[in-house]
Structure formats: structure tokens, C-alpha cells
């Protein structure tokens, strides 16, 4: 099963140019059977939505839900994930192995320290990764508070320094590596992801497969 691990929808992520349905279609056309929606769970996104913390989370989940509807029509598995900045820097983190309840339980995840974020993921049973740690504006953060690293980010509009990210991840023996396109525009389809030997149906099954070391990374798309 070929899975896009890092994709945004324009319904939620202000930097994304493609609505959920078109994004899912583009991934399907690029030969993927699954796509993880990792919209930005950041202060400027959530705080732009009206209502209570709960209302904002519900609005945030619209991108994923539209993608899921499109996926059901197109026969491609849409999986819930998250990309969030945390306190203390511009770096992005990816979370896999979560249901919608995770967001309601952690409606201000974006204000957490790295330690709090890692702990929240551990308590839930989710996996916490640093995304593109060597991208020009990022620094590798505390490797002891991570489950793994996105060692390949295929986004063509950033200097991701992927070989450096891999070296850093290997140096600290960070167990789980992932790859993703960081899909924001149509040209990004097919620029990264993983291949699993068997199908997964939701974020928990995906996290379990990652923990078992089943993922083969797409690093030369």
C-alpha cells in the first residue's frame, strides 16, 4: 500500500492551494492507495476560526472530513494525522496514530513544549515525529523527545536538506523514519511517502505498522 504521509488541504491550511477533494484525486492519480491529512494545527489556524476551543477543533477537522468523503468515492484510504508547531520555535512536528478525539483532548497542542507534546502523544499511544528537521528555517529539536523523524520531505519549494536530516536521525538512533511530499500544490503529488506490505485502514493501524518497521520510504520519487 502506497501512502502519502504528509498532505494539506486548502480548507484548513492557509498555505495550501488545493481543496481536499482535488488533493485526494491528485494522490490517487499519482498511484497512492492512501493519504494522511496533516493540516497545520497552529495558533494562526485555530485562532482564525470562530467559537470555543471545541468549535475550532471541529472546524479544523473539516479538511480531513472532506478528504475522507472524496476518498470514499475514489477508493483511496484517507487517514487522520496532524502537523503542529509547538512552543519555542518555528519547527513542525507530525503526529500519526490519532483519532478525532485526540484534537478535542488537546485543543491547544500548539502551545505545548516539546516535552508536553511528546507526553500527550505517548499517553494516547500516538507517534511524534519532527518534520523536515534540516529545512532552512528549522533546527533539529530534542531527539530524546521524538519517536522518529521525517527524513525525506519532497516539497520542491523548500531547501529540505534531507541527507542531513537522515544523518542526524541516525546519529541519535531515532527509531522510525518517514517520507512525505508535504503536499500544498498539485505539482507536489507523488513526491514522497511510504510503501507498506499490507493495507492499513486508519491512523492507529498506520502507527502500528510504522512501529513494527514495515515502512519502505519513497525517497527518489
Per CB under 5 A, 14 contacts Zn ion = no
**Angle, alpha carbons 126-28-97 (nearest 5°):** 5
Contact present, 82 and 41 (Cβ < 8 Å): yes
Number of other CB atoms surrounding residue 20 within 10 Å: 28
| Residue number, 15 or 186, with CB nearest to Zn ion | 15
- Residues of span 150-169 touching Zn ion by CB under 5 A: none
| Residue number, 4 or 83, with CB nearest to Zn ion | 83
| Residue number, 15 or 72, with CB nearest to Zn ion | 15
Please tell me the count of residues contacting Zn ion according to CB under 5 A. 3
Which grid coordinates are listed for 136?
A: 532552512
Q: How far is the CB of 63 from Zn ion (least distance, A)?
A: 12
Q: Hey, which bits of 8-71 come out as E strands?
A: 34-37
x/- track of binding to Zn ion for residues 72-111 (CB under 5 A):
-----------x----------------------------
| Residue number, 41 or 112, with CB nearest to Zn ion | 41
Q: How far is the CB of 194 from Zn ion (least distance, A)?
A: 16
Which grid coordinates are listed for 89?
A: 520555535
Per CB under 5 A, 186 contacts Zn ion = no
Per CB under 5 A, 4 contacts Zn ion = no
φ, ψ (nearest 5 deg) of residue 187 = -65, -10
Number of other CB atoms surrounding residue 90 within 10 Å: 9
**Angle, alpha carbons 178-183-184 (nearest 5°):** 145
Q: How far is the CB of 185 from Zn ion (least distance, A)?
A: 10
Per CB under 5 A, 15 contacts Zn ion = yes
How far out from the chain centre does Cα 202 lie? 14
Three-state SS at 50: coil
Per CB under 5 A, 182 contacts Zn ion = yes
Which residues bind to Zn ion, rule: CB under 5 A? 15, 83, 182
Amino acid at each position: 500500500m502506497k501512502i502519502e504521509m504528509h498532505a494539506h488541504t486548502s480548507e484548513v491550511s492557509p498555505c495550501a492551494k488545493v481543496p481536499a477533494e482535488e488533493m485526494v484525486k491528485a494522490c490517487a492519480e499519482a498511484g497512492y492507495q492512501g493519504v494522511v491529512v496533516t493540516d497545520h494545527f497552529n495558533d494562526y489556524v485555530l485562532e482564525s476560526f470562530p467559537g470555543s476551543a471545541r468549535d475550532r477543533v471541529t472546524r479544523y477537522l473539516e479538511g480531513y472530513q472532506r478528504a475522507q468523503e472524496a476518498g470514499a468515492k475514489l477508493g483511496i484510504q484517507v487517514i487522520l494525522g496532524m502537523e503542529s508547531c509547538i512552543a519555542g520555535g518555528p519547527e513542525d512536528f507530525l503526529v500519526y496514530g490519532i483519532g478525532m478525539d485526540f484534537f478535542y483532548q488537546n485543543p491547544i497542542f500548539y502551545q505545548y513544549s516539546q516535552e508536553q507534546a511528546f507526553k500527550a502523544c505517548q499517553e494516547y499511544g500516538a507517534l511524534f515525529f519532527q518534520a523536515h528537521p534540516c529545512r532552512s528555517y528549522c533546527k533539529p529539536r530534542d531527539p530524546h523527545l521524538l519517536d522518529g523523524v521525517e527524513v525525506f520531505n519532497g516539497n520542491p519549494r523548500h531547501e529540505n536538506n534531507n541527507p542531513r536530516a537522515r544523518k542526524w536521525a541516525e546519529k541519535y538512533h531515532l527509531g522510525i523514519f518517514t517520507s512525505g511530499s508535504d503536499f500544498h500544490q498539485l505539482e507536489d503529488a507523488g513526491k514522497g511517502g511510504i510503501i507498506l506490505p499490507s493495507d492499513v485502514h486508519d491512523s492507529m493501524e498506520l502507527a502500528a505498522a510504522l512501529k513494527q518497521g514495515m515502512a519502505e520510504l519513497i525517497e527518489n520519487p
